[in-house]
Amino acid sequence: MLSEGAGTVNAETQLHWKQEKEQVHSSRPIRLLILLVSSLPPWMVNILVFPVAFFYFICSKRGRTEAVLYQKQFIAYTNGKRFKLPHPYLQILSFSLCILEKIEGWSGKIALDEILFQHDDIDELKTQLMEGTGALLIGSHLGNIELCRSLASFNRTGINRAVPVIAIMDVEATEQFNKTINNMNPDVSVNIVNPADIGVDTMSRLIEHTQKGGLVVIAADRTSASVPERSFEEPFLGRPALFPYGPFLIAALLNVPTYFVFAMRKGNAMIFPKYNMYIKKADVTFDCSRPERENRIRILCRLFVKELEKYCIKYPFQWYNFYNFWAMPETDSGR
């Protein structure tokens, strides 16, 4: 049961995120969207997303159910200060716009001046990259972290050199979408590492990549598809949730500066969108003994969860984990 009136959790909402089937079963809708992006002004395509999102809202019981599941927990945690009743259409609309943003990003349609950097740690990251030192960027499925990769692929970073990016991501869950986007821009699949394939050789490659001034990007809000039991339990929006161990172990092994990154649309639905980019340097280093390293890995996870919760409260409808984020296995899997 969800706490504080959040409703009953059925068997379907207990699925691990990897067990959820991809919503895009055919490449036709994405190919049509790519065609529209290449043929029409961006504002016109944005308008067309509204009725498409409404159609999905009407036809997808699963989408509505999972949006409401999350929003009820959000309402309970915030005491209804942001909104008092669930608005699943707004979350589905925001997700539809995010898909469009990904296509526009990989099409080269998003310019650097559409990204509004904050007075945070962005200058330190830029200086570091200009000096040839790499970094690890930890993001999430809140907002659109792919903006970082797509901008870098077109050398739109504000850095005086090309910044190579390696993304650690599981692409199987959205295989159809990724294949279609890759046909449009082959750079999408360049330098992607499957987390299940990471071993000694892969880590050596990642370390060398950062030593040469490259970025490694990883999302840290979904437990591992191959070893979901290897996780940390942390409070999130008022309930315990599981977060993956792997991304924070990678931070320790790379032993380079780590930044939390959130790329958020300024509004839930915008015809002429701008994006707020938040960059926060993690005050955790790993020049320490192995026992202490494990403690710092846990601290890094905790810092990330606090940042994730902060921006989730600020941008509640840009949460794109469409599954029961608080589902717990029957056995204790927390580290």
273, β-bridge pairs: none
Mean pLDDT of the chain: 88
Q: Which amino acid is at 165?
A: V
Q: Which amino acid is at 229?
A: E
Q: How confident is the model at residue 36 (pLDDT cuts 50, 70, 90)?
A: confident
Structure tokens at 325: 């984020």
Q: What percent of the chain has pLDDT over 70?
A: 89
**How far is residue 243 CA from its own chain's centroid?**
13
How far, CA to CA in Å, does 294 sit from each of 45, 202, 243? 47, 21, 15
Nearest of 330, 326, 334 to residue 66 by alpha carbon = 326
The answer, yes or no, to whether residue 98 has pLDDT greater than 90, is yes
How far, CA to CA in Å, does 170 sit from each of 178, 213, 323? 11, 24, 16
Q: What is the pLDDT of residues 155-203, one digit of tens each?
A: 899 898 999 999 999 877 667 777 777 877 777 767 889 888 899 999 9
The answer, yes or no, to whether residue 7 has pLDDT greater than 50, is no
